[in-house]
Amino acid sequence: MKIRIIIIVVCIALMLVVLSLIESFSHNYSDAPVESDLIVMLGGGDEARMQKAAQLYLDGYADQVLITPVVESEESTQSSALAMEYGISEEALILEDEAISTYTNATITIDIMEDRGMDSALIVTSDYHIKRSKYIYDKLNDGSFEFKYISALSEQDGRWHEGSDAFYIWSSEYIKMWVYRMGIYWFSE
């Protein structure tokens, strides 16, 4: 009898692991952009995030762009200089330099939106990062905000799974997603 229970528990655990692995490959989610109060460009990734944020700004989807975090250096893909180079006006930029993770990106974004009386935002990030960003922004949102998640595809690599570092991206996001699901955000920082 004990062996049957052990076998059943092991089979259930294996099924959960397999389902978790299958679910981990779906990172292709992206909303259609809608007019919003704010465009939020999440730092990290490559220049495609800034290009997409600038394109949305120039297309009139929002009057302000938050870069979280801003990193002011010539090589940075998340600097105010690069934003202005792509056509975002200096007056439209909201710069914050304290975020150190997707979790802190979300908490700071929500604080800024509350302080400025904003209700909606387009969250711009890489396609592989959409799932985790959506998870944490939606978890922290108390229903006060409408977020849309916009995927910025790298011009060089295309979709995340087509690049040479696809396994690294998948494994990194898989681990980070489970860290977030377990609520130990400090671990990812």
Nearest partner of 42 among 120, 107, 118, 139, judged by Cα: 107
Q: So where are the chain's domains?
A: 29-188
Note the pLDDT of residue 188. Answer: 57
Q: What is the pLDDT of residues 4-25, one digit of tens each?
A: 888 888 888 888 877 776 676 6
Edge-to-edge strand ranges of the sheet holding 120-126: 93-95, 65-68, 38-42, 120-126, 146-152
pTM attached to this predicted model: 0.82
pLDDT tens readout for residues 164-184? 666 766 777 788 887 887 888
Average pLDDT, the chain: 86
CATH superfamily of 29-188: HUPs (3.40.50.620)
CB neighbourhood size of 184 (10 A):
10
Convert the pLDDT of each residue in 51-90 to its tens digit: 999 999 999 999 999 999 998 887 788 899 999 999 999 9
